[in-house]
């Protein structure tokens, strides 16, 4: 007959559960050695059972010794030795096996529940971390995107400002080079207009004569030489010219056959003054050209 502990160990050979390994990705890994736990439980139960059997044997032996002392026949030595031998009842063996199974089931259930709880918590934490990471990435990406937009806007403003300055410089350079060209064209047109239109208007020549005479300060006698075409009209305006000059003056209008229409020369004590349309136009053209080509 084997000891109860040996019987229980042999009966539990089919109850072997090496370990539980629960792994989901890289989240969490836990290994439980149930053989070691069962050995610890069985050792504790075996120790308690042996202590109980020894106590019972000692009680039986003491009882028999007391009965022998009172005159009763003592039990044979073999009987006493039999009492000292460990006794294992079938029902006790079944009780140990069942208790071991129950303990193992409890351990497995608790370990499984703990593992599931830890795994669930780890998965939840991983999801939370992933969500936080995603939000942080979105916020960081938005901030970076806005920064890029601001940089691009600044760059575009600088480019537009530079383009504006370049266009203004091109316009200024072009205007500087065009001014003489435009002035030459204006002078040409003005020259054509004066020769075609103003030569037929004696009022212009009359105005030039009056203006010239007014600016001659130290002379009171004037001889005005004009062309044959202008002589009649200017002679008719003689009194008007004297009135415009004012004061006591002597004004003679003299026809000069060598002059063209629009030409006029005034002879005074201070000298000769050219006030014809051609001279005035030449002076005007000269002044315009000087302005156009000035720096």
Domains identified in the chain and CATH numbers:
4-141 (no CATH), 197-292 (3.30.2320.30)
Residue with tokens 């000269």: 286
In this prediction, residue 264 carries a pLDDT of 82
d(CA 245, CA 229): 24
In this prediction, residue 12 carries a pLDDT of 45
First-to-last C-alpha distance (Å) of the chain: 134
In this prediction, residue 284 carries a pLDDT of 64
Q: What is the mean pLDDT of the chain?
A: 69
d(CA 154, CA 224): 74
d(CA 251, CA 222): 5
Nearby residues of 282 by Cβ (< 8 Å), 6 or more positions away: none
CA 203 to chain centre: 75
In this prediction, residue 255 carries a pLDDT of 92
In this prediction, residue 183 carries a pLDDT of 59
Q: For the chain, list residues with pLDDT below 70.
A: 1-50, 64, 66-97, 175-176, 178-208, 210, 212-218, 247, 277-278, 280-295
CA 195 to chain centre: 69
| Contact predicate 48/42, CB 8 Å | no
pTM, two decimals, is 0.32
**Which residues are paired to 30 by β-bridges?**
22
In this prediction, residue 149 carries a pLDDT of 84
Of 211, 258, 202, 209, nearest to 230 (Cα)? Answer: 202
Of 272, 220, 208, nearest to 250 (Cα)? Answer: 220
Of 214, 205, 199, nearest to 235 (Cα)? Answer: 205
In this prediction, residue 199 carries a pLDDT of 45
d(CA 139, CA 149): 15
In this prediction, residue 242 carries a pLDDT of 80
In this prediction, residue 40 carries a pLDDT of 65
């Amino acid at each position: 007959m084997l000891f109860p502990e040996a019987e229980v160990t042999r009966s539990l050979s089919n109850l072997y559960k090496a370990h539980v390994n629960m792994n989901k990705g890289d989240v969490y890994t836990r290994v439980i050695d149930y053989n070691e736990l069962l050995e610890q439980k069985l050792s504790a139960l075996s120790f308690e059972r042996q202590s109980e059997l020894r106590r019972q044997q000692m009680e039986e032996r003491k009882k028999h010794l007391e009965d022998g002392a009172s005159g009763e026949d003592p039990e044979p030595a073999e009987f006493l030795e039999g009492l000292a031998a460990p006794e294992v009842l079938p029902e006790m063996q079944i009780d140990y096996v069942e208790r071991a199974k129950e303990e193992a089931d409890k351990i497995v259930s608790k370990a499984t529940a703990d593992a599931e709880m830890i795994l669930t918590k780890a998965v939840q934490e991983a999801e939370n971390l992933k969500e936080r990471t995603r939000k942080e990435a979105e916020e960081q990406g938005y901030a970076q995107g806005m920064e890029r937009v601001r940089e691009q806007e600044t760059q575009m403003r600088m480019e537009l400002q530079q383009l504006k300055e370049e266009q203004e410089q091109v316009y200024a350079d072009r205007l500087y080079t065009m001014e003489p060209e435009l002035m030459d064209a204006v002078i040409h047109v003005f020259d054509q207009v004066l020769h075609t239109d103003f030569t037929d208007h004696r009022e212009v020549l009359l105005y030039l004569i009056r203006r010239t005479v007014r600016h001659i300060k130290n002379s009171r006698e004037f001889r005005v030489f004009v062309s044959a075409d202008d002589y009649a009209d200017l002679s008719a305006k003689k009194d008007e010219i004297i009135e415009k000059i004012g004061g006591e003056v002597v004004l003679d209008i003299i026809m000069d056959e060598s002059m063209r229409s629009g030409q006029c020369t005034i002879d005074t004590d201070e000298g000769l003054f050219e006030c014809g349309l051609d001279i005035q136009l030449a002076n005007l053209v000269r002044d315009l050209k000087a302005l156009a080509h000035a720096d």
